[in-house]
Amino acid sequence: MIRIRQGKVVKIINQQPDISEILVLVDDLEQKAVNYCQLTGPVQVGDLVVLNTTAVHQKLGTGGQHFVIANWNVTATNPPDAGHIIKLRYTPGQLKVLAVEEEASPAAEMMRKTVSLDGLPVIAATLHSMLPPVVLALHALGKGQWRVAYIMTDGAALPLAYSKTVRLLKQKNLIHATITCGHAFGGDYEAVNIYSALLAAKAVAKADIVVVSSGPGIVGTGTKYGCTALEQGQVVNAVHTLGGRAVAAARISFADRRQRHRGLSHHTGTALGNVALARCTLALPELPVEQRTLIEQQLKTSGITAKHHLEWVDAAPALQVLLASGIKVTTMGRSPEQDRPFFLAAAAAGVVAAGLLS
């Protein structure tokens, strides 16, 4: 069950077209909350709102904020007439979108004719924090000439508006088009699933290269198959089915205290060793001898070495581009300086994919 509270908006902290960060008086305390305009309409100071306070009450990391369920001062919203695809289906938050592949879409005919990626490079990532090092590497190596599309899956956060990272990367012209698939919503284009999202990236967004990952807030349980990162293997399969070239980003860390994420994360091991049925290229960064030796053992044990093509590259120059950019990014609260191998591995995916284009 969800925990519900009522509160009064006392301040707008940050207003974006699709999302508002607000300060709400709830239980006699001023607390932060998030309002998605696409779901509950705009919000103003003085509005009385109903909040989902479950995550904060439970002290959860994933989704650990209050979220506006309803705004008593917004009596009606007016969604666009076009489109009939429902996302968040059969929930109180269900919303109507115009999917890129449905008949009412201006791109419908183009989508009907597009059945192959024709060798389009696709980077399959697992964590949202991989996105900045990947796209900055692509931008640097392509000298800003390549058009990059980002597909956000529904493996974590569902509203694209929640990602400050994507907003910043778009503002800096590092990402040129966004596509939200499954129950994720709010992209430049909406797609029903990963297959149509990939085809839309090629045919409609006119991408030279595609990056796929979930939004912020990956879910994990500590079990072999109980994590949303396994969708990386499904993305590899989809890219293969559609005739693209998949490059997988490895999750690597020597700063994470959890044994299952030391060296090569079990997420990568399971996603590529068990879930992925098609062959892909796994990008790996040059590392100190001891670290590389451990990872090579893990790659062999997981079955990745026998199944996929491994490409080790010097990703240090690409990581330096991220460090020089001024873009602040962390993974599990750790900066690039604190978890260098993680960000090197993400940058390596950009380097390898860039090699396919150049």
Residue 166 pLDDT more than 80?
yes
Query: If you ran DSSP here, which 8-state letter would residue 223 be given?
Result: S
Closest CA to 240 of 277, 207, 209, 189: 277
Rounded to whole angstroms, the Cα distance separating 146 from 134 reads: 13
Residue 221 pLDDT more than 90?
no
φ, ψ dihedrals at 123, nearest 5°:
-95, 120
CATH top-level class for 108-357? alpha beta
Band of the pLDDT at 219, cuts 50, 70, 90?
confident
Rounded to whole angstroms, the Cα distance separating 140 from 273 reads: 31
Least confident of 48-62, 142-156, 341-355: 48-62
Task: For residue range 136-146, list pLDDT tens digits in order.
Answer: 999 999 999 99
Rounded to whole angstroms, the Cα distance separating 315 from 133 reads: 10
Q: What is the pLDDT of residue 256?
A: 82
First to last CA, the chain: 52
Residues forming CATH 2.40.50.220 domain(s) in the chain: 4-71
Residue 173 pLDDT more than 70?
yes
Q: Considering only residues 219 and 171, tell me which one the structure prediction assigns the higher pLDDT.
A: 171
Rounded to whole angstroms, the Cα distance separating 63 from 333 reads: 15
Which stretches does DSSP call E strand in 94-239?
95-97, 121-124, 148-152, 177-181, 189-191, 209-213
What percentage of the chain exceeds 90 in pLDDT? Answer: 87
Residue tagged 């989902």 (tokens): 52
Q: What is the pLDDT of residue 83?
A: 87
Q: What is the pLDDT of residue 77?
A: 78
Tokens of 86: 């429902």
Residues forming CATH 3.40.50 domain(s) in the chain: 108-357
Mean pLDDT of 52-77: 85
β-pair type (121-124, 209-213):
parallel
Q: What is the pLDDT of residue 63?
A: 65
Rounded to whole angstroms, the Cα distance separating 129 from 164 reads: 11
Tell how far CA 269 is from the center of its chain. Answer: 19
Q: What is the pLDDT of residue 222?
A: 85
Band of the pLDDT at 32, cuts 50, 70, 90?
very high
Query: If you ran DSSP here, which 8-state letter would residue 332 be given?
Result: T
What percentage of the chain exceeds 70 in pLDDT? Answer: 99
Mean pLDDT of 166-181: 98
φ, ψ dihedrals at 129, nearest 5°:
-70, -10
Closest CA to 194 of 244, 151, 134, 130: 151
Residue 195 pLDDT more than 80?
yes
Tokens of 215: 């939004």
Q: What is the pLDDT of residue 295?
A: 97
Task: For residue range 95-118, list pLDDT tens digits in order.
Answer: 999 999 999 999 999 999 999 999
Mean model confidence pLDDT for the chain:
94
SS3 call for 51: strand
Residue 355 pLDDT more than 70?
yes
The topology under which CATH files domain 4-71 is OB fold (Dihydrolipoamide Acetyltransferase, E2P) (2.40.50)
Band of the pLDDT at 358, cuts 50, 70, 90?
confident
Judge whether 128 and 150 are in contact, CB under 8 Å: no
Q: What is the pLDDT of residue 334?
A: 92
Residue 249 pLDDT more than 70?
yes
Tokens of 300: 């062999």
Mean pLDDT of 40-47: 95
Q: What is the pLDDT of residue 78?
A: 74
Mean pLDDT of 290-301: 97
Q: Considering only residues 192 and 259, tell me which one the structure prediction assigns the higher pLDDT.
A: 192
Distances in Å between the Cα of 62 and the Cα atoms of 59, 135, 225, 256, 258 are: 9, 24, 18, 18, 18
φ, ψ dihedrals at 80, nearest 5°:
-60, 145
Residue tagged 């103003």 (tokens): 44
Rounded to whole angstroms, the Cα distance separating 358 from 343 reads: 23
Band of the pLDDT at 61, cuts 50, 70, 90?
low
